[in-house]
Chains A and B, each alone.
Chain A
Amino acid sequence: MTPEDRAMVTALCADRAGLRVDPEKEYLLENRLGPVARREGFVGLGEMLQTLRDRGDERLVWAVVEAMSPSETAFFRDPATFAAVAGPALEDLARRRAGQTLRVWVAACGSGQEVYSLAMLLDEQAPDGVTVDLCASDLSERRLERARSGVYSQFEVQRGLAARRLVRHFEKADETFVVARRIRQMVRWRRVNLMEDLTPFGQFDLIFCRNVLGALVESARTEVLGNLKGCLAEGGYLVLGLGDAASGLTALPGGAGVHQAETRRRAAAA
């Protein structure tokens, strides 16, 4: 890839999805985009980039942007975060929202490990007196397809997943492991660009967004965080990566990345 190619891809990613792509990381760019060129039927990466420059058709643009969006994830990544969610956050929500439906959203679900971790947790210890509506979204349609299939390699199911959970929630199919139908059926999937207006999705009690903010350019980070905060119900929880800050929300003690929106009572007291 020429420096011009890399600059073009970097600019497209920032423009369409707020993604911060380092144009100096030639290896990463070629590694991610090579498969896209092959899949789209180009002779090589160079031909695809030339077509992108000449015609810039939207489908190809998105194929490139999606390939550059972060995808790395593991089951139960940051166990302290899941403990904080399973304990204080869900207990509080179950108490305040008794008899209602909790709306939970895993934004930027990547290949699905995070939303399935949450689904397993909810299956093992369903919060009392509430039903849970669990949705997952990602920028990439391809990744959503993969996540929805619930198929993981032997390597993937050994990252973060306890053996007891593997035997309880997975089935083996040839040399892969598939999330049990019971767990897969708990999740609804949808493609969402977090840079767009999110108000049509309504309000959520619990939002996970742990793989994204660090990968965005500064302005996009502010925008996405603002969009997500706008989707938080009163007293709802936003779960971010361990290092991510969220102004206007109260971080739960323990530094596990769990932040709570104001409740009416607290707002009234202030």
Chain B
Amino acid sequence: MKTCLVVDDSRVIRKVARRILEDLGFEVAEAADGADALAWCATAMPDAILLDWNMPGMSGLEVLRRLRLEPGGDAPKVVFCTIENEIDRIREALAFGADEYIMKPFDGDIVAGKLAMAGAL
């Protein structure tokens, strides 16, 4: 079974995302901040990561930058999932190595479509 790590400081968002991802056949893990996310990746690199941008402490962009430097850190498909919806921000995320980008609010179809485009389904 493929694993997906949901990184978001909102418990509600994590719960909504978990339900969608489980319906898509993922085993889901949750992290409430960047440090937690990186610790999780160091233990067991997930197949996909749904990553918020604005979180207390480390930003999603910083999480992504550090992840890609880790051994095996280029493997997970990383899909940003954030309220940031300016073209420049999306461009920045892609330049940092994000595979896809979701602008909140999202629904199940958008998550499924974006994960498919990222090659994570």
Contact = CB atoms under 8 A, between A and B. Distances in A.
B106 A158 contact: yes
A171 B109 contact: no
Contact of B87 (A160, A162, A172): A172
Interface residues of B, number: 18
A152 interface: no
Contacts, number: 37
Nearest to A164: B94
Interface of B is mostly: helix
A154 interface: yes
B85 A163 contact: no
A181 to B, nearest CB: 15
Interface in A157-176: 158-160, 162-164, 166-167, 170-172, 175
A162 B117 CA distance: 7
Nearest to A167: B91
A172 B85 contact: yes
14 contacts: A154-B85, A158-B102, A158-B103, A158-B110, A158-B113, A159-B109, A163-B90, A163-B94, A163-B98, A163-B117, A167-B87, A167-B90, A171-B87, A175-B85
Interface of B: 85-87, 90-91, 93-94, 98, 100-103, 106, 109-110, 113-114, 117
